[in-house]
Amino acid sequence: MNRNRLFALATTSMLLAGCGSFTNAVSSPSATGNAPLLNRDELTQLRYVGGNNVWLTANNSGFYELFDFNTATKSASFITPPGISGESGIAYAYNPNLGGVLGFYPFQSLLRSPIVFTKDYGHSWNSVGVDAKMAGIIDPLALSNDRLYIAEGGGTITSGTPAGSIFTALPALPQGAVVKGIYGLADGVVAVVVQGTSTTIEYFSEGTSAWSSVQKITSSNVVATEVLKGSTVTVGICSQVGSRTKGELFDGTALTPTFSATSNATLIGCTPELSSSTATVGALTKQGSSVYLVDGSGHKTLQNGVTSYVSSGGLNLSIAPYSEGIHLVDTSTNVDYADHINATVANFVNRYQGG
* Total-model pTM: 0.89
Is 104 in contact with 81 (CB distance < 8 Å)? no
Task: Reduce the secondary structure of 295-315 to three states and give it as a string.
Answer: ECCEEEEECCCCCEEEEECCE
Q: How large is the angle between the packed helices 339-353 and 3-17, nearest 10 degrees?
A: 100
Report yes or no: 321 and 62 within 8 Å, Cβ to Cβ: no
CATH number at residue 120: 2.120.10.30
Total domains in the fold of the chain:
1
Q: Which domain holds residue 325?
A: 3-353
Q: Would you give the DSSP letter of residue 346?
A: H
DSSP 171: P
Print pLDDT tens along the chain (355 aa): 333 322 232 333 333 333 444 443 343 434 444 566 788 999 999 999 998 999 999 998 888 999 999 999 999 999 999 888 788 899 999 999 999 999 998 875 556 788 999 999 999 999 998 888 899 999 999 999 999 999 998 889 999 999 877 899 999 998 888 999 999 999 999 999 998 888 999 999 999 999 999 999 999 899 999 999 888 999 999 999 999 999 999 999 999 999 999 888 999 999 987 666 678 899 999 998 899 999 888 889 998 999 999 988 889 999 999 988 999 999 999 999 999 999 998 888 777 665 4
CB 25 within 8 A of CB 45: no
